């Protein structure tokens, strides 16, 4: 039973009460030692739950967004016609259903990327309807183009569904995002276990440079895992994965028992190659390369990644260092082993590697015979380099060095597409 309004009480205390003419119980609050007026409380609030989805992005790759929860970014690499669909279920009286967002075209000119954004907003009048509403807007990647003279890099579509009830504020979904990637960006980098030209160990600089570059994939070499004090006895593959939030795979070229004089006995000492991918990794494999007695073992890591249902295989490797005919011969046999590994796969393939030999070196001929050097495919002249990105015969837009003091090597970037070069 509710206390009488004149009864004594403690400030802040609440109690239920009956409101004349209302089916829901009310509530009164104690203030100044006395119960306040009985106020009505909404016991069956109307809940509206709009939703946003896409149609046409491919099986397992459709956008889905509601007011709560996660809304994933969906990516794809081939042109598409698709729809964003806003809806609200039958039940509450709806005044308006809205679908709003933007189309953001990324364009490149002279090595600089620009963004050209076009907003959209579409309303469907509900007029108090309780039957449920659906609103559809169509998009085509072929109509989201750059100004003349620019190169189209990507198109990002963002949308939000909002339902406005007949009374009260509107309710929106989380933002749904679909991304068409006209060009895929690859980075190769010998990170020198995170020690820069200034002799400072700072792995975060490596991650920051990668993220700022806009790359979608990275192949790193000289990556330590509990190796020694030179990398502060850290698990660098795990740290790079945590710092970027990307998928990661690692191949330990050197794999030794823990050493009490290095990083202790609790973990194996490892040194090798790394793959980082913005997209899910479906499978991976490690391949060990030729090495004679007395030399370091070398390896390659390969990973099949999926971009909205389209697969591409990427590799990271590091050949024997040093000059002289015997070391050149070792690299030649390693290059042959590397190509044997790469040729186990079909479809689009990209190799990111420190090959420790100049571009005219005879020992790299097995790689040159099997893949294209993206540096030359992008129209660049000969250069003094030992870091490379090779690919199957795919169009290449750009290949360039990324200057950084975070390592004793500069990073190398290449833009590759799975579409014909003539596509807009």
**Helical axes 203-213 vs 236-244, angle rounded to 10°:** 40
User: What is the distance between the alpha carbons of residues 107 and 156, in angstroms, rounded to a whole number?
Assistant: 12
Tell me: do 273 and 140 sit in the same domain: no
Nearest to 71 by CA among 50, 48, 47: 50
Please check whether residue 58 lies inside any domain of the structure.
Answer: yes
| Token couple for 49 | 């739950």
pLDDT of residue 54: 97
Range of the domain at 154: 48-181
Residue 272 lies in a domain: yes
| 296 and 397 assigned to the same domain | yes
pTM score > 0.85 for this model? yes
The pLDDT of residue 413: 99
What is the pLDDT at residue 88?
94
pLDDT band at 237 (very low <50, low <70, confident <90, very high): very high
pLDDT computed for residue 10 by the predictor: 84
Asked if residues 220 and 240 have their Cβ atoms less than 8 Å apart, the reply is yes
Residues 365 and 268 in one domain: yes
- pLDDT averaged over the chain? 93
Q: Please compute the mean of the pLDDT values over residues 62-87 and round it to a whole number.
A: 92
Q: What is the mean pLDDT of residues 21-37?
A: 81
DSSP 33: T
- For residues 55 and 23, the model is more confident at 55
Residue 377, in any domain of the structure = yes
What b/e sequence results for 71-89 when a residue is b if at least 16 CB atoms lie within 10 Å of its CB, and e otherwise?
A: beebbbbbebebebbbbbb
Tell me if 422 is assigned to some domain. no
φ/ψ (deg, to 5) at 213: -75, -20
Q: pLDDT over 90 for what percent of the chain?
A: 79
pLDDT, tens only, 355-368: 999 999 999 999 99
349 has a pLDDT exceeding 80: yes
Domain boundary among 144, 162, 181: 181
Residues 145 and 24 in one domain: no
SS3 assignment, position 193? helix
Band the pLDDT of 3: cuts 50, 70, 90: low
- Which tokens belong to 73? 């970014």
Number of domains in the chain: 3
pLDDT exceeds cutoff 90 at 288: yes
Band of the pLDDT at 14, cuts 50, 70, 90? confident
Same domain for 228 and 376?
Answer: yes
| Pairwise CA distance, residues 232 & 307, whole Å | 35
> 39 and 58: one domain?
no
For the domain that residue 104 is a member of, what is the CATH number?
Answer: 2.60.40
CATH number of the domain residue 368 falls in: 3.60.10.10
Average pLDDT of the segment spanning 213-226: 97
Residue 52 pLDDT greater than 90, yes or no = yes
Considering the domain architecture, whether residues 7 and 77 belong to the same structural domain is answered as no
Mean pLDDT, residues 171-193:
97
Give the containing element (helix H, strand E) for 298.
strand 298-307
Strand stretches in 166-235, DSSP E: 171-172, 176-181, 184-190, 217-225
Please give the angle made by the CA atoms of 351, 213 and 152, to the nearest 5 degrees.
85
pLDDT digits (tens, 9 = 90+) for 299-321: 999 999 999 999 999 999 999 99
Picking from 421, 424, 367, the residue whose alpha carbon sits closest to that of residue 390 is: 367
| 98 occurs within a structural domain | yes
- pLDDT tens digits along 83-118: 999 999 988 899 999 999 999 999 999 999 999 999
pLDDT digits (tens, 9 = 90+) for 113-150: 999 999 999 999 999 988 999 999 999 999 999 999 99
With respect to residue 136, please indicate whether it lies within any of the assigned structural domains.
yes
DSSP three-state, residue 164: strand
Strand pairing class (184-190; 411-416): antiparallel
Q: What values do phi and psi take at 335, rounded to 5?
A: -65, -40
Residue 334 near residue 319, CB atoms below 8 Å: yes
284 and 363 in a single domain? The answer is: yes
166 and 227: one domain?
no
What is the spatial distance between Cα 205 and Cα 23, in angstroms, rounded to a whole number?
63
**pLDDT average, residue stretch 234-263:** 94
pLDDT at 34: 85
How large a percentage of the chain has pLDDT more than 70?
96
Cα(7)–Cα(38) distance, rounded to whole angstroms? 14
- Of 181, 198, 215, the one marking the end of a domain is 181
Distances (CA, A) of 391 to 32, 304, 348: 79, 14, 8
Residue 156 token pair? 């990002």
| 242 lies in the same domain as 370 | yes
Buried b (16+ CB within 10 A) or exposed e, 113-152: eeebeeeeeeebebeebeeebebebebebeebebeeebbb
Q: Is residue 424 part of a domain?
A: no
Label the pairing between strands 94-109 and 112-129: antiparallel
Give a yes or no: residue 192 inside a domain: yes
Distance between CA atoms of 213 and 42, rounded to whole angstroms? 53
Same structural domain, 244 and 386: yes
Residue 387 near residue 190, CB atoms below 8 Å:
yes
Q: Are 234 and 296 part of one and the same domain?
A: yes
* Domain's final residue, options 43, 59, 76: 43
Confidence at residue 266, expressed as pLDDT on a 0 to 100 scale: 84
Residue with tokens 């099997």: 370
């Amino acid at each position: 039973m509710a206390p009488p309004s004149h009864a004594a009480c403690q400030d802040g205390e609440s109690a239920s009460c009956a409101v004349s003419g209302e089916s829901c119980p009310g509530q009164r609050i104690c203030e100044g030692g006395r119960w306040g007026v009985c106020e009505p409380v909404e016991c069956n609030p109307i809940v509206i739950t709009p939703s946003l989805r896409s149609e046409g992005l491919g099986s397992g790759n459709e956008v889905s967004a509601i007011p709560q929860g996660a809304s994933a970014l969906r990516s794809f690499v081939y042109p598409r016609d698709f729809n964003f669909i806003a809806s609200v279920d039958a039940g509450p009286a709806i005044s308006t259903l809205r679908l709003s967002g933007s189309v953001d075209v990324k364009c490149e000119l002279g090595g600089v990327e620009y963004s050209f954004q076009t907003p959209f907003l579409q309303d469907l009048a509900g007029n108090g309807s309780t039957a449920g509403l659906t609103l559809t807007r169509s998009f085509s990647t072929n109509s989201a183009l750059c100004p003349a003279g620019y190169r189209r890099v990507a198109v990002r579509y963002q949308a939000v569904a909002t339902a406005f009830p007949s009374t009260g504020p509107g309710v929106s979904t989380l933002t749904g995002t679909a991304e068409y990637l006209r060009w895929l960006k690859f980075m190769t980098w010998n990170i020198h276990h995170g020690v820069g030209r200034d002799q400072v160990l700072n792995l975060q600089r490596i991650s920051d440079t990668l993220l700022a570059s806009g790359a979608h994939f990275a192949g790193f070499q000289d990556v330590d895992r509990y190796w020694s004090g030179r990398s502060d006895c850290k698990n660098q593959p795990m740290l790079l994965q945590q710092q970027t939030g990307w998928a990661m795979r690692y191949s330990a070229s050197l794999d030794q028992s823990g050493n009490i004089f290095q990083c202790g006995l609790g973990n194996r000492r490892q040194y090798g190659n790394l793959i980082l991918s913005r997209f899910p990794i479906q499978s991976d494999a490690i391949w060990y390369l030729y090495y004679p007695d007395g030399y370091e073992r070398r390896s390659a890591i390969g990973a099949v990644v999926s971009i909205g249902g389209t697969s591409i295989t990427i590799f990271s490797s590091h050949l024997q260092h040093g000059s002289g005919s015997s070391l050149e011969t070792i690299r030649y046999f390693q290059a042959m082993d590397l190509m044997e590994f790469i040729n186990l796969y079909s479809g689009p393939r990209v190799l990111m590697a420190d090959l420790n030999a100049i571009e005219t070196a005879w020992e790299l001929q097995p790689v040159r015979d099997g893949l294209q050097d993206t540096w030359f495919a992008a129209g660049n002249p000969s250069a003094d380099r030992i870091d490379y990105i090779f690919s199957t015969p795919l169009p290449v837009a750009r290949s360039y060095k990324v200057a950084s003091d975070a390592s004793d090597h500069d990073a190398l970037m290449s833009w590759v597409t799975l579409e014909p070069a003539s596509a807009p």
